[in-house]
Chain A
Amino acid sequence: MNIEHFVNTNLIDYTLYLADNALILGHRNSEWCGHGPVLEQDIAITNISLDLIGQARNIYQYAAKVINESSASPSYCAGDGEVTEDTLAYLRDVRQFKNCLLVEQPNGDWGKTILRQFLFSSYQFYLYGAMRSSKDETLAAIAEKSLKEVTYHLRWSSEWVIRLGDGTRESHERILNAITELWMYTGELFLPANYESRVVSAGMAGDVAQVKSRWEEKVKEIFVEATLPWPDEVFQQTGGKEGKHTEHLGYILAELQFMQRAYPGSEW
């Protein structure tokens, strides 16, 4: 294995991790379309979906370029044609997806969706913030572009966590339940996969420990404002970054990929 191949493989895995996160959370949020608690918030959550899916496209396009130019061309897709953003999104199977477990969790009630968005947006905010100075120009550009959108997502979801936590007894109760259901998936964000550590040490992505401390600071600040306790330590679930997912991802892909699986190559 030559050095170029080694670097490329890690970069490909890492870009897929970033893109899969954005795609899967974008898809989850899109399930709210037409079901939001009020019209304005229905529009807000679907706007966030659109931003995330747009980010996913930019990253998949880059991943596809690296894969196609790579000498080794590992099997990232079914079929032997050229790899594109579409083949990466629509033709990979569950075990090939690298997204973190947090983003694939079911929407639950509004409180759970809000908390999931907040936990993820605050992670993405510091992750992309650090990635702006990546040695990889494309990743730096994508980070800088996306950060402007993520800033809106973070502010919006932070305000909602506070509104629900410091709201009525019921809203407080619901967001507490959401913490119980989701906290076990937050540890994985800061437990780097092998490819991630290598990309970070090559200066292509931000330092994971630094992102973690900023994330914790942010979450603490918002939880205090929201009158929410800092969660007790719980066993942290991991595996998503390596393709070992909760049962939910398979169902998401069954819906997301249905058209391309049933009618390969269909366009409209």
Chain B
Amino acid sequence: MTTREIDKKTIYSYLEQVQDPEVPALNVIDMGIVRDVFLHDDGSLEIIITPTYSGCPAMDVISMNIRILLSTIGFKKIKITQVLSPPWTTDWMSEEGKRKLRNYGIAPPNPKQQVCSEKLFAPNEAVQCPHCDSWHTHRVSEFGSTPCKSLYVCDDCKEPFDYFKCH
């Protein structure tokens, strides 16, 4: 198989098989991590990815998994380029991705404009409990199990849950 025979869309559909190791419910397309795909004239394939957070340890694993997948499919020359600009934002997460997150038990990110300011003691964002759909929830901590999440608890069903915070 040569890269000429296939188009970008096919590559994107392949990449949907690469999961985020920290949030296995999502693939790299849902996350908005893959920024572009280039099929170069010399037959090589270049995948442009961007990290969610600077220190996200998942990025190395994601790069490796993309490489493994594509070489299994038959691509010989694969280049994975990491770019920092424009910086990743939760706005790039697909609606499908947000739905999958909810089903997985993680509250999906709210629209970005609600947060990301240095304003102090900002009122808690209204976050819907992914278990019982109640809006009566409160934040326990701004920092959670991974850099991209904060800890919430539901005041109705009393279940703690992760919220994929706006970024």
Which residues of A are at the interface with B, using a C-beta cutoff of 8 A? 40-41, 43-44, 47-48, 50-55, 57-58, 125, 137-138, 140-142, 144-146, 148-149, 151-152, 154-156, 158-159, 162, 225
Contacts and interface: CB of A to CB of B under 8 A. Distances in A.
A53 B51 CA distance: 14
A51 B146 CA distance: 11
Nearest to B50: A145
Given A137-B85, A155-B120, 11 more contacts: A43-B144, A43-B145, A44-B143, A50-B55, A51-B54, A51-B55, A57-B54, A58-B54, A149-B53, A151-B116, A152-B143
The prevalent SS among residues of A at the interface is helix
Contact of A54 (B56, B117, B141, B142): B56
Interface string B78-93: 0000011111100000
Given A44-B141, A44-B142, A125-B118, A142 B84 contact: yes
B151 interface: yes
Contacts of B83: 141
B67 interface: no
A40 B151 contact: yes
The prevalent SS among residues of B at the interface is loop
Given A54-B53, A54-B56, A57-B55, A140 B85 contact: yes
Contacts of B84: 58, 138, 141-142, 144-145
Contacts of A154: 118
Interface of B: 51, 53-57, 83-88, 116-122, 140-145, 147, 151, 167
Interface centre among B57, B147, B151 (most CB of A within 10 A): B147
Contacts of B122: 155
A144 B83 CA distance: 12
Interface centre among B56, B84, B119, B142 (most CB of A within 10 A): B84
B118 A158 contact: yes
B118 A54 contact: no
Contacts of B141: 40-41, 43-44
A148 B55 contact: no
B143 A47 contact: yes
Nearest to B117: A151
Nearest to B141: A40
Nearest to A43: B143
Contact of B85 (A40, A51, A57, A145): A145
Given A51-B54, A54-B55, A162 B143 contact: no
17 contacts: A40-B151, A47-B143, A47-B144, A50-B57, A51-B147, A52-B55, A53-B55, A54-B53, A54-B56, A57-B54, A125-B118, A148-B167, A149-B147, A158-B120, A159-B120, A159-B121, A162-B120
Contact of A50 (B85, B117, B147): B147
Contacts of A145: 51, 54, 84-85, 87-88
A213 to B, nearest CB: 17
